Chain A
Amino acid sequence: MTNKIDFLTRVSGLANLEIIAEDNLLKEVRFSVRETPRLIEKLLLGRSYKVIPEITARICGICPVAYQLTALQAIEDAFGIKPTKEDLSLRKLIYLAEWIYSHTLHLFFVHLPDYYKVNSFLELFQIERELLEKAFFLRETACRIIEKLGGRAIHPLSLIPGGFSSYPDSLSPLIDPLRNSLKIAEELFTKLCSMTFPEFSLSEVQFVSLLDEDDYPILDGIIYDGKRKIDKRSFRDYFLEVERPYSTANHSLTKEGKPYVVGPMARFEHAFEKLSPRAKELATKHGIIPPVDNPFLSPLIRMLEIVHSVELALEIAKGYIKPKKVPQELKPSEGEGIGITEAPRGILWHHYKFDSQGLITHVNIVTPTSQNLASIELALFKSLSKEKGLEEASIRNRAETMIRNFDPCLPCATHFLEISIKKLD
């Protein structure tokens, strides 16, 4: 018997779920991405390095800054330029804002309705008006930060190799909204802690995140899988991409062939000590400390990362002095560059090779969602094995909630070089 749930709702992008059972015994769960590949990697070949940040940003409308910053790191790596400390701190600010934006969007507008058994945040508004107004405020603050630095909230415009094309005179208009946001984020975390979440353990998967000596990882760092520290240049030696014939997205496995998890849960596991003071204090107070291997607790960890991001953003905004220099045009040369950062959903890896004109000869992008897909299937399988009947109505909710625990972004997952799976005509 195959039970197919067409059209998963409240996930970013298009996907189906196929549940294959024999005699009511679960055999396989297929999370198949239906998003049409846009072949972004392929279309970059032969084009100038200059277009990478703008074009890769269009892989995802929720986390474009992640693509821009990872691409810039790779370009700067290839051509040997170093952004200043001021530029890095501003990049961190705009990236933190994207974390707030993305986490708020997912947590309150997509995921939370599950816990109230309603269809959407629009219905949730009737029950929890104040809570959603607060969430709107957080989203708004994040948008204002990105706009202030980049001109607009989605696909911002000022991020260029070497730094920024232009700097705002002052960031003081952001300070009050950020102060309020910190208060709000703390309240929301406390509120979420009072809710009950299903019990579940996904102890068989490895967590993989970046580690940064001084910070909770975001802008760069060394890869850590719980045992080994791996340089960004060796990423491909440890993590493999495999095709799934039923999906338009690749899956990733460790070289040992095991699923792994990237994103908030992995960062929390490996870098809890580096969370901002308020975030750490709150987490400790409510007993949310590592190890946490229950994906149903991911809303709490996302919320904690919001508190962390707001607190750090406030600090950066307070210390802002408009930098003097505007970066100069760089000289392309033959070479290759790698970028790695922590996108809201986890490790994002970019690899490019350039010819002497700076034209792209090779490109490979590995996204957080494709790295999580194998774990999502494993979690679904474990969770649905416990279900008595495997009829759509009874499992839809449970399956969808489990998927939302991982906040998959399907346009991100579906970007690869060639279509060898599904013919489009």
Chain B
Amino acid sequence: MILGVFKLTSCGGCQYSILDLGKSLLEQKIFYFTEISSSNLWHTFDVAFVEGSVTNDDEKELLLKIRQKAKFLVALGACAVSGGIQAIQRSKKDKGLIFYSYPLSDFVSVDLELRGCPVKSEHIEETLFSLSVGSVPYFPDYPLCIECKRKGNPCLMITHKILCLGVITQGGCGALCPSLNRGCYGCFGPVKGANLKAFFRCALRMGLTEEKIREIIMNSFNGYHQIFRELYDK
């Protein structure tokens, strides 16, 4: 397959996960990936991976161009899916500072979102494999709690009174944080149908203020995800 890998505003962590594919990378035709190659060609891409969020007009234009050239466009990681950690500064517009950071889906149609800050390299592998055999890649669409329970972890919220975003976060990482004895901070972003009201009730009962809970969600690296926007747009 002909691949393109593109970077907008981001830390670079997600695109380098592509190197985890190791030697199987050689089976792909990588036409565009400026961080590892000096030869970059605009071509029709079977798959375009886009890392990073849109923070200015140049990036918006680049994204539109990629969309035109890509048969299948993948948003790679939390920056591309939700706008990333840099997106939460919109609430701090002061001194005439204009800064915005949007997910790709605010400008173009995205064929697949790979969640996580960073993405899981197995998910990139699964994507390429599925597409190469003509099927649609499938990723967990249930909350992290399910993975956590499958691992047999006791619930951190109940047993240790540690706040964990697992219940509103999309599974996929394998419940890494609770397995390491800390609460999930939400880097895979909100799960579809997340019950934010119930989550707020739980967290309030643990002694947090509403403002604090909102801040924790903003710090989740997915704070500006479509599902969370209602929390501070009002």
Which A residues are within 8 Å of any B CB, using their own CB?
A: 7, 9-14, 35-36, 38-40, 42-43, 47, 51, 54-55, 58-62, 64, 105, 109-110, 113, 119-122, 125, 133, 136, 139-140, 143, 150-155, 157-158, 160, 165-166, 326, 400, 409, 411, 418-419, 423-425
Contact = CB atoms under 8 A, between A and B. Distances in A.
A121 B146 CA distance: 40
A326 B56 CA distance: 44
Contact of B89 (A39, A152, A155): A39
A122 B30 contact: yes
Given A113-B38, A122-B25, A400-B38, A40 B20 contact: no
Chain A binding surface, main DSSP class = loop
B89 A42 contact: yes
B181 A424 contact: no
Contact of B85 (A13, A43, A139, A140): A43
Interface residues of B, number: 56
B13 A155 contact: yes
Contacts of A61: 10-16, 118
A36 B56 contact: yes
A9 B55 contact: no
Given A36-B9, A36-B55, A58-B221, A418 B177 contact: no
Given A61-B13, A157-B176, A424-B55, A10 B38 contact: yes
B152 interface: no
Interface in B11-34: 11-17, 19-20, 22-23, 25-26, 30, 33-34
Contacts of A419: 97, 99
B182 interface: yes
B117 interface: yes
B118 A136 contact: no
A47 B20 CA distance: 34
B220 to A, nearest CB: 10
Interface of B: 7, 9-17, 19-20, 22-23, 25-26, 30, 33-40, 55-57, 59, 84-86, 88-89, 92, 95, 97-101, 117-118, 120, 173, 176-177, 179-182, 185, 187, 215, 219, 221
Contacts of A155: 13, 117-118, 187
A105 to B, nearest CB: 7
A58 B117 contact: yes
A423 B98 contact: yes
24 contacts: A10-B36, A10-B38, A38-B55, A42-B89, A43-B89, A54-B185, A55-B85, A60-B12, A61-B13, A64-B11, A109-B36, A119-B39, A122-B25, A139-B19, A150-B180, A153-B20, A155-B13, A158-B182, A166-B181, A411-B10, A418-B97, A419-B97, A424-B98, A424-B99
A160 to B, nearest CB: 7
Contacts of B22: 136, 140
Nearest to B215: A47
A38 B99 CA distance: 9
B80 to A, nearest CB: 13
B182 A12 contact: no
A38 B135 CA distance: 37
A166 B176 CA distance: 11
Contacts of B56: 36, 424-425
A322 to B, nearest CB: 13
A10 B37 contact: yes
A32 B211 CA distance: 40
Nearest to B52: A36
Nearest to B40: A9
B85 A38 contact: yes
A133 B55 contact: no
Nearest to B121: A153
B13 A62 contact: yes
A392 B187 CA distance: 42
B214 to A, nearest CB: 12
B38 A60 contact: no
Nearest to B177: A157
A10 B37 CA distance: 6
Nearest to A326: B181
Contacts of B37: 9-10, 119-120, 122
Contact of A55 (B23, B40, B180, B219): B219
Nearest to A61: B13
Nearest to B17: A154
Contacts of A411: 10-12
A47 to B, nearest CB: 7
Contacts of B10: 61, 411
A411 B52 CA distance: 11
Contacts of B7: 13-14
Contacts of A110: 35-36
Contacts of A153: 20
Contact of B182 (A14, A55, A157, A425): A157
Contacts of B99: 39, 419, 424
A43 B88 contact: yes
B180 A165 contact: yes
Contacts of A418: 95, 97
A62 B12 contact: yes
A80 B15 CA distance: 38
Given A61-B12, A419-B97, A120 B86 contact: no
A36 B100 CA distance: 11
Contact of B180 (A14, A125, A151): A151
B125 to A, nearest CB: 14
Question: When A and B form their complex, which 4 residue pairs have the shortest distance between CB atoms, in order from nearest?
Answer: A61-B13, A120-B37, A119-B39, A38-B86
Nearest to B216: A51
B84 A58 contact: yes
Contacts of A154: 13, 16-17, 118
Nearest to A54: B185
